[in-house]
Structure 1
């Protein structure tokens, strides 16, 4: 099959775009408003975009509490969404009343970062503490501004639980089994690990 995204006339019961661009790691974003209210939300448009310095990005289809909080404070955390926290991660995607804590609703511990004033998930195997470096709206081919907002943050500190490390000091992905979003309502985890060496 073939179709143009101008019309999106694919004839399928569901849009396949997000299923094709997958698996997508989940950015489980912790933020705190200027008034001190904690927020936790999962974003499947997320990834690392630089290693030196370490920079991550997540994108929101429209303005949500996470974006508002980060605009106010300039900081946020990224929590590793592992298979054992899948149900809690999913619970934090619920639409709660403004100011109601997703940490409390999902039964998760909210811990304040060491270098940033933003909450992170105490149960997470790994956490990135980030400072905002920029927010942008992706443009269209016509130069219009989309409703999406891309949030970039430089990682200034990292937490890793000791039990998540192997004997040779690697993050044990077989144990952690990081969650990723597929299309539709589907998820997968990174528990099926194999190694390949890049050819010279």
Structure 2
């Protein structure tokens, strides 16, 4: 199972990026997680740029999504909304096929951020018919340094929550793939 975990933050010492890396470090052996933390490198979306060969960074991002079985998105809230870099990344996906039937779940690193989560849920439900609100995990990691995030995620309580979340999402991805293929796995 290949999962692409997208950090909605462009910060170098992002709590969300650290959380995704920590989750990757404790993921079960059957779940391979890649962390995409380069949203700040994507050019600003313009439909004019879609008619030419795509910028290489955009192509790499789209290819990573296409090659994954599912997406996990973790994002901070900026001014009660989706960070511009994450929204820009989603805008790059709207005209393509890669995200339409891609299973997507959210992972959140704060006790706050409900306005952003509501907006992000609306956007993701619009671009993917396989976005699930049923699989969601919130860890209280806000304002922690990356090393502290790793320690917090690795506690037995959080490790158990993370692994249950990942197994639930992996099962969802498999079920959605079977549904898409008419019940036959290839």
Q: Which has the larger radius of gyration?
A: 1
Higher percent of residues as strand: 1
Higher percent of residues as helix: 2
